[in-house]
């Protein structure tokens, strides 16, 4: 590491110097190195609380790069600072990028310059519909080489990571804790799978950093920063996914929201985002086309193998003629409330689609 990289590393280890303070310090002193070793009286105005200033001055007085880097690397953790050439350019362009990224796993498994990342986020308590959608989207995205980025939380995050793994794709888990803390611990197996073959686990917090609630909100901006687009699959009215999506929009990322049943509490969040201007995502094909990608007709053929009884009946029906949803329900002797979720799933899977008149038809 050069002097600026060493200074970034030092700032990240010192609790109390966050990304916004770092930006102000570098702007004032012209480099991280100069800021790190600036006279104490010049640094004082940049700290909101005196105890944070005192903690930094104390830390700086005994900071040894050689000692700290040895401690970090002995735990199989790698470091990437804003002043490394391979620091993700998209991440660096958000309003408050991490000073450092601490990571585990094969750093070379992700090419931050050429790989395309998609963030998939949503509720920790998905419905069966939401779980299925997250699985389908993750599988489709991974199949064409997209990197799935999520937060390794329970629910939609976990399902998205696992979908990528099942397709032997790649995924990035962004922790809301220190790099050495697995949360929730029930995801240790997932954590280990990612590290073994399928990507990396990262955090902006070094080993031993004390966890507080705000860290999970801050984590979401990193998911946004790494991703070309954010997809929201289910979330309540006050879901953190809405905050993530709005931050994404503010930072120039495309936001996609998966619609759901209007009677489901978990559909409220995506529907709010749609009203605010998010793209409606009813099929993975829509996002892939926006990205200039195509998973090909063989994907449809593969999906047909997995159709359940009622799905197969609907598929055969729509292969012959177009029908509105209520007509489909009547034909297969189900209520409209029972039929709509099946149609929605088939649509998201890219097997059927609506024409301009709102009638369903098998995709060609």
The 3 state secondary structure assigned to 79-107 is EEECCCCCCCHHHHCCCCCCCEEEEEECH
- Region 340-350: mean pLDDT is 86
Query: Which of residues 43 and 213 earns the better pLDDT score?
Result: 43
Q: What is the pLDDT of residues 129-152, one digit of tens each?
A: 999 999 999 999 998 889 999 999
Query: Do the Cβ atoms of 115 and 149 come closer than 8 Å?
Result: no
- Region 184-201: mean pLDDT is 94
Q: What is the pLDDT of residue 15?
A: 76
- Region 255-281: mean pLDDT is 96
DSSP summary character for residue 146: P
Q: What is the pLDDT of residue 83?
A: 95
> What count of other Cβ atoms lies within 10 Å of the Cβ of residue 321?
11
Q: What is the pLDDT of residues 303-341, one digit of tens each?
A: 555 677 888 889 888 887 889 999 999 989 999 999 998
What domains are defined for the chain? Answer: 1-73 (no CATH), 108-290 (3.40.50.450), 297-362 (1.10.10.10)
Q: What is the pLDDT of residue 296?
A: 53
Q: What is the pLDDT of residues 26-71, one digit of tens each?
A: 999 999 999 999 999 999 999 988 998 999 999 999 999 999 999 9
Q: What is the pLDDT of residue 158?
A: 98
- The SS3 of residue 355 is coil
Q: What is the pLDDT of residue 217?
A: 86
Tell whether the model's pLDDT for residue 231 goes beyond 80. Answer: yes
Query: Do the Cβ atoms of 80 and 200 come closer than 8 Å?
Result: no
Query: Do the Cβ atoms of 227 and 94 come closer than 8 Å?
Result: no
Q: What is the pLDDT of residue 300?
A: 47
Work out the angle at residue 265's Cα, subtended by the Cα atoms of residues 252 and 255, and round it to the nearest 5 degrees: 10
- The SS3 of residue 118 is strand
Tell whether the model's pLDDT for residue 128 goes beyond 50. Answer: yes
Tell whether the model's pLDDT for residue 302 goes beyond 80. Answer: no
The phi, psi pair for 230, rounded to 5°, reads -120, 130
> What count of other Cβ atoms lies within 10 Å of the Cβ of residue 274?
19
Distances (CA, A) of 216 to 56, 164, 176, 203, 213: 24, 22, 4, 11, 6
What sign does the CA torsion over 83, 86, 87, 89 have?
A: positive
- Region 151-163: mean pLDDT is 97
Q: What is the pLDDT of residue 295?
A: 53
Residues in the chain: 364
Average pLDDT, the chain: 91
Q: What is the pLDDT of residue 133?
A: 94
- Region 198-208: mean pLDDT is 94
Q: What is the pLDDT of residues 77-123, one digit of tens each?
A: 999 999 999 999 999 999 999 999 999 999 989 999 889 999 999 99
Distances (CA, A) of 55 to 14, 21, 38, 61, 89: 8, 15, 15, 10, 31
**How far apart are the two ends of the chain, measured CA to CA in Å?**
54
Tell whether the model's pLDDT for residue 297 goes beyond 70. Answer: no
DSSP summary character for residue 323: B
> What count of other Cβ atoms lies within 10 Å of the Cβ of residue 181?
16
Query: Which of residues 167 and 102 earns the better pLDDT score?
Result: 102
- Separation of alpha carbons 348 and 357, rounded Å: 19
From the list 137, 183, 130, 128, the residue with the least C-alpha distance to 161 is 137
Tell whether the model's pLDDT for residue 298 goes beyond 50. Answer: no
């Amino acid at each position: 590491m050069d002097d600026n990289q060493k200074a970034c590393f030092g700032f990240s280890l010192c609790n109390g110097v966050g990304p916004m303070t770092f930006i102000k310090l570098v702007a004032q002193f012209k480099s991280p190195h100069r800021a790190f070793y600036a006279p104490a009286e010049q640094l004082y105005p940049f700290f909101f609380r005196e105890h944070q200033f005192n903690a930094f001055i104390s830390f700086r007085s005994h900071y040894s790069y050689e000692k700290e880097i040895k401690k970090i690397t002995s735990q199989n953790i790698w470091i990437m600072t804003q002043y490394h050439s391979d620091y993700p350019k998209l991440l660096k362009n958000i309003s408050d990028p991490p000073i450092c990224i601490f990571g585990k796993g094969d750093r070379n498994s992700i090419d931050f310059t050429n790989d395309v990342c998609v963030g998939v986020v949503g509720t920790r308590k998905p419905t069966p519909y939401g779980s299925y959608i997250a699985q389908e989207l993750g599988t489709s995205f991974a199949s064409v080489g997209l990197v799935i980025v999520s937060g390794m939380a329970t629910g939609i995050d976990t399902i998205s990571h696992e979908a990528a793994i099942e397709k032997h794709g790649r995924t990035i888990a962004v922790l809301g804790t220190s790099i050495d803390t697995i949360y929730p611990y029930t995801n240790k197996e997932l954590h280990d799978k990612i590290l073994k073959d399928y990507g990396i686990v990262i955090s902006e917090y070094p080993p031993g950093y004390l966890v507080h609630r705000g860290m999970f909100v801050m984590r979401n901006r990193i998911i946004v920063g790494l991703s070309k687009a954010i997809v929201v699959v289910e979330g309540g009215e006050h879901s953190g996914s809405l905050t993530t999506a709005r931050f994404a929009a503010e930072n120039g990322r495309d936001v996609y929201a998966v619609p759901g049943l209007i009677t489901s509490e978990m559909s409220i969040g995506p529907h709010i985002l749609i009203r605010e201007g998010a793209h409606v995502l009813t099929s993975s094909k829509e996002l892939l086309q926006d990205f200039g990608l195509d998973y090909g007709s063989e994907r449809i053929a593969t999906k047909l193998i997995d159709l359940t009884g009622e799905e197969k009946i609907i598929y055969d029906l729509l292969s012959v003629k177009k029908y509105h949803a209520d007509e489909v329900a009547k034909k297969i002797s189900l209520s409209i409330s029972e039929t709509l979720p099946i149609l929605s799933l088939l649509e998201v899977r890219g097997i059927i689609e609506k024409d301009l008149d709102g009638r369903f038809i098998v995709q060609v």
